[in-house]
Amino acid sequence: MTSSADLRDRFRGALLGLAVGEALGAPAEFLTADQIVERYGVIAEMVGGGCHDVAPGQATDATDMALLLAESLAERGVYDAEDVMRRYRDWFEKRPRDVSLTVRTVMLSYRAGTPWDLASRRAYEILGHPVASNGSLMRCAPLALLFHGDQDRLRPALQRESMLTHFDSLAGWACVALGDLLVAALDGRLHERLPAIADDLEDEDRRISAALREAVEAEPEEVQNSAFVVDSLRTALWAVLRTTTFEEAVCLVVNLGDDADTVGAVAAALAGALHGEAGIPARWLAPLELRERLRVAADRLADLADA
């Protein structure tokens, strides 16, 4: 059994880890692995820069949106999708440094008067293609904290949260899978529970269950940091399974390049849930821009979850 103190440390680890992974990966976004080597050698420190010109310790949209979700959950004590959507709109109005095309289209539609619960469908109609990208996967970790131990409430909340911006059931089931993985990691039983999680999702979406199984034995050349939600989920889990520390897992992911900040956030949330805040290098936490707000949100969610 995980002690209360250990579990609270893992709650912090999940949210802080998400931000650390995104901040480390931001300078590598859209670069190939070879270009990263040419420019940075190996990214193992908060270097800053990249296409969004972040300062060391600054994250981008995954951390912003995950924190907004976490603070809504902490303040309201429940998942209130309409409240979350309003927070996302207010954030969008402040012109954040990074907003994906899918989320931008949803927010513009919502701002123009589309009801909050129809905005992602309208964005799908505007974009004209499925939106099974990783923009909902990257931010959903707070729901696994609030509903730790309550899968009956966790899964519908994850799917509803995903549907706020991504009108595609594949994105929703990827969020469900990550939620289940996060809960297992919080309990220190990720490796043990993984086969059952994959089996349980077999009847829901075989693409997701296959990705979980493939992550166990995949070789480096078989994973990629693309924005496709299945690739992001597979790579994040692969990195955590094949390493023994938070640092190893996150460095492995961000140095793959491509969508390094988002996949870095997903992998680091999972690694943080497994290893806790205590497992995150202090040199990475020190410059983290939103560190204290993330800690407070994690502690409030732990209180609500009786962790």
Q: Which residue's structure tokens are 């496709």?
A: 228
Q: Residue 77 has which token pair?
A: 């004590």
Query: Given phi > 0 = left and psi -120 to 50 = alpha, else beta, which region is 276?
Result: left
Distance CA 233, CA 281 (A): 24
Q: Which amino acid type is present at position 145?
A: L
For 38, 39, 167, 201, 253, the CA distances from 43, given in Å and listed in that order, are 11, 10, 34, 35, 10
pLDDT cut 90: percent of the chain above it? 94
Statement: the pTM of the whole predicted model exceeds 0.95 = yes
pLDDT tens-place string over residues 147-157: 998 989 999 99
Does residue 307 carry a pLDDT above 90? no
For 85, 114, 123, 129, 166, the CA distances from 163, given in Å and listed in that order, are 11, 14, 11, 15, 5
What average pLDDT does range 136-153 have in this prediction?
96
What average pLDDT does range 10-24 have in this prediction?
98
Q: Which amino acid type is present at position 211?
A: A
- Give pLDDT, residue 293: 98
Distance CA 217, CA 297 (A): 35
| DSSP structural state of residue 113 | T
pLDDT tens-place string over residues 23-55: 999 999 999 999 999 999 999 999 999 999 999
* Residue 249 CA, distance from chain mean position: 14
pLDDT tens-place string over residues 180-222: 999 999 999 999 999 999 999 998 999 999 999 999 999 999 9
> DSSP labels for 198-241?
HHHTTTT-HHHHHHHHHHHH--GGG----SBHHHHHHHHHHHHH
pLDDT tens-place string over residues 68-108: 999 999 999 999 999 999 999 999 999 998 999 999 999 99
Which alpha helices (DSSP H) does 54-129 contain, by range?
Answer: 61-76, 81-93, 101-111, 119-127
User: How many CA atoms are closer than 13 Å to the CA of 135, on its beta-carbon side?
Assistant: 22
Long-range contacts at 107-114 (CB < 8 A, ≥ 24 apart): 110/85
Does residue 248 carry a pLDDT above 80? yes
Distance CA 189, CA 185 (A): 6
pLDDT cut 70: percent of the chain above it? 99
Distance CA 115, CA 59 (A): 29
- Please state the domain extents for the chain: 4-304
What average pLDDT does range 269-293 have in this prediction?
98
What average pLDDT does range 252-265 have in this prediction?
97
Instruction: Tell me the residue length of the chain.
Output: 307
Closest C-alpha to 92, from 146, 164, 163, 22: 164
Q: What mean pLDDT value characterizes the chain?
A: 96
Q: In 10 A of CB 47, how many CB atoms?
A: 17
Closest C-alpha to 287, from 71, 54, 98: 54
Distance CA 146, CA 263 (A): 22
Does residue 129 carry a pLDDT above 90? no
How many helices and strands in the chain, by DSSP H and E?
A: 16, 0
Does residue 1 carry a pLDDT above 70? no
- Give pLDDT, residue 2: 66
- Give pLDDT, residue 90: 98
Buried b / exposed e along 223-245 (16+ C-beta atoms within 10 A): bbbbbbbbbbbbbbbbbbbbbee
Q: What is the CATH number of domain 4-304?
A: 1.10.4080.10
Angle at 122 between CA 179 and CA 235, to 5 degrees: 30
